[in-house]
Amino acid sequence: MRFASFILIAALSLSAAPTAIEKNLHVRVRMRDGVHLCANVFRPAGNGRYATILVRTPYNKGKDITPGWQALVEHGFAVVVQDVRGRFDSEGVFDLYYQETPDGDDTLNWVAAQPWSSGKIGMYGGSYLGIAQWRAALSGNPHLKAILPLVSGDDEYLDRFYSKGGEMKLGHRLLWMSEHFSAPGSPKPDFNRYIWRLPLRMADRAATGQRSAMWQRALDHPSYDHFWKSVSVRSNIEKIKVPVFAVGGWYDNYVESDLEAFTLLRKLGRPNRLIVGPWAHNMSYKFPDMDFGSQAQIPLRELQLAWFDYWLRGSQAAPSTPPLRYFVMGANQWREADEWPPKGVRYVPFYLSSGGHANSVSGNGTLRENEPGVNPADRFVYDPMKPVPTVGGAVCCNPKKFLWGPLDQRQVERRRDVLVYTSSPLKHPLEIAGPVRVVLYAATSAADTDFTAKLVDVWPDGRAINLTDGILKLRYRESLAKPVPAKPGEIYRITIDAGPTAVLFKKGHAIRLEVSSSNFPRFARNLNTGNPAAEDTVVRTARQTVYHDRRHPSHLLLPVVK
C-alpha cells in the first residue's frame, strides 16, 4: 500500500531555486490519552506563518527532508510528516480501525497552535496516507481545510478486507501485513506459502510470524455488520465537510470506492474532484502487456499545488474544470463529466449462449445481443485445491510478488473450469463507462460456493486483456449484512458486481466474459462447505451449473456511452 504515495510525492519535485529550510526532526506530539507521536517539521526559514501540509504515515516518516517535501516547502508551505500510532518512532499500539480519527484531530490542533502555522492545514498522500486523511476529516476539525487522498478508498470492509460479494481479498491483505507488520526479526515468508494456509484464522501467523489483531477482528466479522459500519468513512460520509480532491486508477483495488465517495459527496453538495486514470496502485508502473501512451500522463503536480493554494492560501486560481476527469482505455483519451456514471450511459445486456460446452476458450460459448432461446446449460467442477489463478487486475500491493494490471488471460481461458463467452468481432467501436454487472442463473451442488466474472477485451491478434472483475459468495446473494444458506440444486438469480471501468472496444475487437468460481489469490477460496470461513479446513468440490435460456436469461450488463 505504500507505492503510490512515494511515487506521487516525488512527482511534486520542482525546479525552483533552493530555499533556506528550517528543520525540526523527531518532534514529540502529545495525544489526548498521553501517548506521544513523532513528527518531522519542515518550513521556510524565518518568522513567517505558513499554511501547512500534514502527512501521516505508517511507513516511516524518515530521518530528514525528501525531494518531494522540499518542493512543497520551496513553494511556501510548511510540511509535517508524522509516524502514526504504534509505528516506528511513535508510541502506542497500532489500531487500524480506531486510531486515525482522534490522532488526526489532535495532530491538527497541535499544528494549528504552532507559532509558524497559519492555522490552515491540508492533508496529502496515497494509500494508507489517504485513509488517514479521510479519518481525520471525520473529526470535523476546523483547521483542516482540504484533503488530497490518492488510491485510498473509503470503506474498511469493501476496500481492505472483503469484496462487494463478501469474499476475502486474501492476497492483498496478507501481502500488506507480511511486508509491513511482521514480527521483528522474523524472515519474510514466501507469498505462495501463506496464501494457501488453512484455516484462515492462522494465516496471519503464516504471513507475519505473529497474531494480528486487525486480521482476527476482520475474520470475526465476515458480514457487513455494525462493526464495519462504525469504522466506515462511507457510512459516515455526511461528516466530511472539507473539500476533497481524490485520484484513483482503473487497475487499483480502491477505484470503486473512490468513485462511490465522489458520487456521495456530490449529492451532499461538497466541493469534490476526482481523477481516474489507467493506473494500478502505483501511477508510474509500466504494464508489461499494455501501454496507454504519453496521453495517460497528467500534470498532477500543478493540479495538486493549485488545489492547496486555493483552499489554504486563498489563491484566485479556483479549479475550473468539471469535477470528474476519467481516462477511456482503448481510445486513450480523457473525458470530463459532472457525475459517475457519466450522463447518457445506457445499460445494454449481452446474453450468454452456448451449445452446452462453453468450457475454455475452445468451447462454444458466445455473447449475443438477442435474448436466448433454447440453450443447454453449461457445467463445470470447481475444486478449491486447484483454483483459477489470478492474472493481473485491480490487486495490491507489490507487483513483484502479486502481478497487477492488464495482462493476457489466455492461460486462464484454457481451463475447463472457466466458462468463456465471446461476442463476434465488433463492426463498430463500442465505448463503455460505468459499473459492470453480470446476472447469472446458477446452481451448485454445494452448501455454499462462489461465482466469479471477468470482463475481457479480445484483440484481433488473439490477446485477451482483462478489464475488470468481481466475485459473489453465494450466501451473500441477497445482502452482505445477512448471509442466507444455499440449497444444493436450486437455481438462483444472482448479480455479480464486476467493478467499474471506462474503455473503448475498437472495431474488430470482441467482448468476452469469463465465468468461474475462483480467482485466487485475489480472493480467498470458498471451500464449498457452508461452514464459517475463518475456521474451515474441510475442502469439497462443487458441481456448478450456469443456465442461459429463455426462462434464465443470464447476461452481461454493460454501461454503454451514447
Report the predicted TM-score, pTM, of the whole model to 2 decimal places: 0.94
Q: Provide mean pLDDT across the span 241-267.
A: 97
Answer yes or no: 548 catalytic. Answer: no
Check pLDDT > 90 for residue 488: yes
Report whether 290 contacts 406 (CB < 8 A).
yes
Largest CA distance in the chain: 81
Average pLDDT score, the chain: 94
Tell me the angle at which helices 3-10 and 67-74 cross, rounded to the nearest 10 degrees. Answer: 40
Q: Which residue has the cell 452482505?
A: 480
Q: Are 281 and 397 contacting, i.e. CB atoms less than 8 angstroms apart?
A: yes
Residue 88 predicted with pLDDT over 50: yes
Q: How confident is the model over 471-482, as a mean pLDDT?
A: 97
Q: How many other C-beta atoms lie within 10 A of the C-beta of residue 94?
A: 15
> Cα(343)–Cα(332) distance, rounded to whole angstroms?
20
The pLDDT tens digits for 420-442 are 999 999 999 999 999 999 999 99
> Is 474:492 a contact under the CB 8 Å cutoff?
yes
Cell, residue 473: 459468495
Give me the pLDDT at residue 318, please.
64
Distance CA 118, CA 328 (A): 41
**Does 446 have pLDDT greater than 80?**
yes
Q: Determine the pLDDT at residue 227.
A: 98
User: pLDDT value at position 284?
Assistant: 85
- Cβ neighbours of 531 (radius 10 Å): 14
Candidates 75, 143, 172, 281; catalytic one: 281
**Separation CA 311–CA 270 (nearest Å):** 13
Other Cβ atoms less than 10 A from the Cβ of 429: the count is 13
Is the pLDDT assigned to residue 155 strictly greater than 70? yes
Determine which one of 103, 105, 204, 252 is catalytic.
252
- Which tens digit of pLDDT belongs to each residue from 315-335? 876 666 789 999 999 999 999
Q: Which of 118, 127, 139, 516 is catalytic?
A: 127
500: pLDDT confidence band, cut at 50, 70 and 90? very high
pLDDT tens track for 46-59: 999 999 999 999 99
Question: What pLDDT score does 315 carry?
Answer: 83
- Give the percent of the chain with pLDDT over 70: 96
Task: Report d(CA 473, CA 453) in Å as an integer.
Answer: 12
Q: Is the pLDDT of residue 13 over 50?
A: no
Which residues, 6 or more positions from 10, have their beta carbon under 8 angstroms from its beta carbon? 66, 67, 68
Q: Please provide the DSSP assignment of 313-376 as one string.
A: H--S----S-SEEEEEBTTTEEEEESSSSPTTEEEEEEEEE-SS--BSTTS--EEESSPP-S-P
Point out the least confidently predicted range of 81-85, 395-399, 503-507.
Answer: 395-399
Annotated catalytic residue 555: no
Cα separation of 241 and 203, whole Å?
39
Strand-strand pairing, 78-83 and 50-57: parallel
Summarised one tens digit per residue, pLDDT across range 103-151 is 999 999 999 999 999 999 999 999 999 999 999 999 999 999 999 999 9
Percent of the chain whose pLDDT exceeds 90: 90
Q: Please list the residues that pair with 244 across neighbouring strands.
A: 147, 272
Annotated catalytic residue 117 = no
